[in-house]
Amino acid sequence: MIQRVHEHIISELGANTRTDTIFVLTAIFINLITLGINSGIASSEPSATNTIVMFTIVALIVVVNFVAELGLIRGRQMRKKLLSGLLKMYKDQGVEGYYDPSLLSDYRTRYNLFMLTVLFTGLVAIIIPFVIR
């Protein structure tokens, strides 16, 4: 049974990694695409329509980034829980020496860096078009 639980945790960790990768890549991709679109709009003739489109795209950027940030925070918490369970299991089996608990804090740092990357590409996508305008 413990082997089944172990497999389940490993499978959950894999799904967690895939989901977080999708969150990060999608957010960065959308930020860069919207940066291009909004910069193009900002360089064109100013009009009320252009302003509305720009603000709509900014709203999209904000929503996508907040969803990605929330997803990453949740992903980090989920990974922490899964790894804690895994560590406990290893401890119970007397093989905890093979898994360094400092990996938990390493994952935390990595998630924070992902979140900063998403946040800063989002900020660039918001600010640059308004500077161009």
Partner 1 sequence: MTLIVVSDGYYNRITAGQEKTIFLEIGNNGNTELTNIRLSADLPEGWTAVFSPELIDNLAQGNFQTVDILLRPADNAAKGEYTVALIAEANETRRVTSIYVRVESASLFWVWVGVGLAALVIAGFVFIFMRFGRQ
Give me the residues that bind partner 1 (CB under 8 A), please.
Answer: 42, 45-46, 58, 62, 65-66, 69-70, 73-74, 77, 115, 119, 122-123, 126-131, 133
Cβ 42 to partner 1 shortest distance, Å: 8
Angle between helix axes 48-92 and 2-43 (nearest 10 degrees) is 160
Q: Please return the burial class of 97, using the count of CB atoms within 10 Å of its CB with bins 0-12, 13-18 and 19+.
A: exposed
**Closest distance of CB 61 from partner 1, Å:** 8
**Closer Cβ to partner 1, 6 or 60, answer by number:** 60
Q: Select 95 or 123, whichever has its Cβ closest to partner 1.
A: 123
- Residue 77 or 93: which CB sits closer to partner 1? 77
Angstrom distance (rounded) from CA 80 to CA 4? 20
Least distance from C-beta 97 to partner 1, angstroms?
Answer: 30
List C-alpha distances in Å: 72 to 40, 97, 110: 30, 29, 11
